[in-house]
A and B are shown apart, each in its own frame.
Chain A
Amino acid sequence: MSVDAATVRHIAKLARIAVSDEEVAALEPELNNILGWIEQLQEVDVTGVQPMTAVIPNTLRMRQDVVNDGGIRDDVLANAPVAEHGFFAVPKVIE
């Protein structure tokens, strides 16, 4: 599988990364190089193999249903680029 410039733009759009024409031109061969290399995995016979879910045998623990967090609005907003009236503010979204 190989990617063309349009695919590079599409992936960049999915990842929300702006790309200039030069960046696309640079990325296209780089990505193809890497994707071509990982392609070799296709030759591994994985019949009957379950995809790995936990690298070390371990079971999920669950938390109790207790409220022990929150009420820290100042902390939550402390590093915000723009915060107003207790909200994060972002460029207006038109729905």
Chain B
Amino acid sequence: MSSYRIHGATGEWEVVIGLEVHAQVVSNAKLFSGAATEFGAEPNQQVSLVDAAMPGMLPVLNEECVRQAVRTGMALNAQINAWSRFDRKNYFYPDLPQGYQISQLYHPIVGEGVIEVLLDDKDESTAKQIGIERIHLEQDAGKMLHDQHPSYSYVDLNRSGVALMEIVSKPDMRSPEEAGAYVRKLRSILRYVGSCDGNMEQGSMRADVNVSVRKPGQPFGTRTETKNVNSVRFIMAAIEYEANRQVEVLEEGGTVVQETRLFDPDKGETRSLRSKEEAHDYRYFPDPDLLPVELSDAFLDECRETLPELPDAKRHRYEQELGLSAYNASVLTADVTTARWFEELLAATGKAGPEIGKAASNWVISDLFGALNRLGRDITDSPVSPKQGADLLGLVADGTLSGTLAKQVFEIMLETGQDPGRIVEERGLKQTSDTGAIDKVIAEIMAANEDKVAEYRGGKDKLFGFFVGQTMKAMAGKANPQVVNELLKKALG
């Protein structure tokens, strides 16, 4: 679909991108120990003797991490391997206490799958399938601090042993935008499944970015791997930079070196990590401390049954059942917390279908999101609850509030956290449909503006708006605009 091309001196170049996303599995305890995974603890306080690789310590697999990986695989329409196994990846680094990472090379728990991404949220025709190569479970490493002491680096093992899913894509992406859309979609699915919180700032999700370039139609070029890029923006920038760098190298007659690189967000460039490259030979072999993982049908069934409705299905349902526009449906389903909030709101209205869908989605997207944006808040700490939002929509639907009044009430809700019913009651913000009162006001206005009445009756239709405005003003905005319209028409003749 996308025809992203780099225009070099020798012609056009195509970019080939594959991503290895490391996603921290949502679990209470670590992959092989009973220590906590929570973010932000004091150094080395979430470390068991197993995580510190004390002599004689042994790993015991956390079932929840397996379940999460399987559910993730199912959400990506991937093949689930009922028989998988852990291998050791051997290398030395102070953040790796065992001297090896327990990972899965030969027999990963999840095989091939696929993710559909939309390059344009509003346009289904921009859909593209990105292949998933595999998902495997592995241990995270600890953390090092290099700037605390002149001659020492400090090692904190709190993260050591936390479960990661490594989600490896096929080299199916062809532009930074596709890569960005892929990561956003993947994050969305992971958050729906609940297997990863997707928090890239805290490092819960980070990507190794594999980039190569080629002339269209030619075989794949040599790729480089830019490690641990931790935002969608940086991923796209790294690809952009790396692809252009490679084109430049090739056009100058050089060759791309297969190597590990690092992205520098300050400079927006990648640089070689050749120092670490040397002598990498991970000597993978099956971990003899662990037996093969064999998943029963019952376990797999349970994983399948606990899968929620996923974003694509939800988007289609919103369009069909609620009559939402493609745009609204896509905005409301992109993130699971938004979708959940929206559905709680719908449920609280007690109504279903397009009758409520349109009004509710418009209110959420324009009024609520606008307010949250202004307040710098997330939907999870919205000052207005779904129930309160539903009440507000109800007051509009039954004619108690006009659109203008509703906006006024909403502002008060944001400020005070009070229920809309109470606000309407206490502040007398109810709109009136009392024809007697409105007729009385209309009569007064007509009497005070006899000239304008004459002009209107003489054919100056535009003056109708003037009478409406005057009436509403006199009614302090609380008159039902529809009733005002009807009565005015009658009175003006």
Which residues of A approach B to under 8 Å, CB–CB? 10, 13-14, 16, 53-54, 58-73, 75-77, 82, 84-95
Contact = CB atoms under 8 A, between A and B. Distances in A.
Interface stretch (B14-22, B35-43, B318-326): B35-43
Given A14-B283, A58-B291, A93-B94, 13 more contacts: A53-B291, A63-B60, A63-B63, A64-B64, A67-B36, A69-B48, A69-B49, A70-B36, A72-B49, A86-B45, A87-B156, A91-B151, A91-B153
A89 B343 CA distance: 51
A28 to B, nearest CB: 19
B145 interface: yes
B85 interface: yes
A contacts with B: majority SS: loop
Interface string B174-185: 000000000000
B286 interface: yes
A54 B291 contact: yes
Given A70-B47, A73-B44, A85-B148, A60 B63 contact: no
B contacts with A: majority SS: loop
Contacts of B34: 63, 66-70
Contacts of A16: 92
A60 B296 CA distance: 12
6 contacts: A16-B92, A59-B294, A61-B60, A75-B49, A85-B43, A89-B155
B146 A95 contact: yes
B402 interface: no
B146 A93 contact: yes
Closest 8 CB pairs of A and B: A65-B64, A70-B35, A69-B34, A87-B154, A62-B63, A69-B48, A60-B291, A89-B152
Given A67-B34, A86-B42, A92-B152, A60 B290 contact: yes
A37 B310 CA distance: 58
A72 B48 contact: yes
A68 B49 CA distance: 12
B415 interface: no
A67 B28 contact: yes
Contacts of B114: none
Interface in B43-59: 43-52
A42 B85 CA distance: 26
B395 to A, nearest CB: 44
B46 to A, nearest CB: 5
Contact of A62 (B44, B48, B62): B62
A85 B152 CA distance: 12
A47 B156 CA distance: 47
B27 interface: yes
Given A60-B290, A75-B49, A89 B60 contact: no
A82 B152 contact: yes
Contacts of A86: 42-45, 156
Contacts of A61: 60
Contacts of B85: 53
Given A70-B46, A73-B42, A65 B29 contact: yes
Contacts of A58: 291
A87 B155 contact: yes
B291 A88 contact: no
Contacts of A82: 152
Contacts of B153: 89-93
A36 to B, nearest CB: 21
Contacts of B47: 70, 72-73, 76
B63 A65 contact: yes
B92 to A, nearest CB: 5
B51 to A, nearest CB: 8
Nearest to A57: B291
Nearest to A51: B286
Interface string B130-164: 00000000000000111011111111110000000
A76 B54 CA distance: 8
A73 B45 contact: yes
Contacts of A72: 47-49
A76 B142 CA distance: 14
B252 interface: no
Contact of B154 (A60, A68, A85, A94): A85
